[in-house]
Amino acid sequence: MKYIAVLGVIVVSFGLVGRAAAQKPLYWEAPTWFEVNVPYSAALPVGQVTLGCAVDNYTNDVNWGDGTTSHLTTPGAAYKIYYNGQWITLVGPGTFTLYEAADKTFGAGSTSNPLNGELMSTLHCLNGTETEHWQTPVTLNVRPRTPLKEMELAISPSMKARGDSRAVPSIQVKGGSGVQVTIFATDKATLAKIHINLTWTDLSGVMLSPPTSVDVPYDNFAASFVVGTKKTNKTRQVKVQASTDGTPITGNISVTP
């Protein structure tokens, strides 16, 4: 397609005739392993589409395999041109990332068998002779949440306190130092990882940017991270709770002057 700029207006001198397909035009980018009730963020890509022409009719969808289908968008990809006496909206040519409008969450009923998902694109090249339909199948696996076993608190590199859901670990740390938190699951993480939700009771705000979640990496039993503390003029009490399946494990941290 050739464009001629006239007084700031883009005019199409002739249309691109042909097919939109290129090598691997519709590609899955999201993970293929998920955990029950752990959202896949709408800010993360679902797929990628490569257009070999400018298209004037264009839709993308994902079938998640669990009975739900979502519309996908390519933010910022559309543009307008003046063509045959009117303004029209086009996308492409080029490669564009596909996003869902909302977070995706799989329910407990999705864990029995692998899910047969699919990316789907319908498009028509400007001046093309036919509407094209593309499909990319994908197998998705959804795992139940993995219970947690115990928590370990440490002032690196010494002093450790461990405890499971029956015994709460407690530790003292001087303000300005770091606390290493290690959380053990009851089983190894699959490719879905193990997403652990963290809740902090810290009324004085003595912990420095404590995380709200952490993931156990694939083929590991535990996740570990370090949280800094502020200097304080009196002892501050902090409680951290970690949970996956609704049964939390807890640790107590005393931050001292």
Reported as a pLDDT band with limits 50, 70 and 90, residue 10 is: very low
Token pair 């090249």 is at which residue? 125
Reported as a pLDDT band with limits 50, 70 and 90, residue 119 is: very high
Give which of 213, 210, 217, 215 is closest to 197, Cα–Cα.
213
Token pair 């949280």 is at which residue? 227
- Confidence (pLDDT) at 19: 53
Token pair 């003595």 is at which residue? 206
The rounded distance, in Å, linking the Cα atoms of 60 and 34 is: 22
Give which of 94, 97, 108, 140 is closest to 37, Cα–Cα.
108
Domain 148-256 is in which class? mainly beta
Question: Could you read off the pLDDT of 212-228 as tens digits, one per residue?
Answer: 999 999 999 999 999 99
- Confidence (pLDDT) at 128: 85
Cα three-residue angle 81-87-89, rounded to 5 degrees: 60
Whether pLDDT at 1 is above 80: no
- Confidence (pLDDT) at 138: 96
SS3 of residue 108 by DSSP:
helix
Whether pLDDT at 195 is above 70: yes
Average pLDDT over residues 37-54: 93
More confident position, 152 or 139: 139
pTM of the model: 0.76
- Confidence (pLDDT) at 155: 77
Reported as a pLDDT band with limits 50, 70 and 90, residue 168 is: low
| Domain layout of the chain by residue ranges | 2-143, 148-256
Average pLDDT over residues 51-70: 93
Domains 2-143 and 148-256 share a fold: yes
Average pLDDT over residues 142-153: 91
What is the CB neighbour count within 10 angstroms for residue 47?
A: 23
Average pLDDT over residues 70-86: 93
Domain 2-143 is in which class? mainly beta
Region for 204 from its dihedrals, namely left if φ exceeds 0, alpha if ψ lies in -120 to 50, beta otherwise = alpha
- Confidence (pLDDT) at 22: 42
Least confident residue range of 32-36, 129-133, 156-160: 156-160
- Confidence (pLDDT) at 5: 35
Q: How many residues does the chain have?
A: 257
**Residue 154: its H or E element:** strand 148-155
More confident position, 21 or 153: 153
Q: In Å, how far are 153, 161, 238 from 197, measured between CA atoms?
A: 17, 21, 17
What value does the mean pLDDT of the chain take?
A: 86
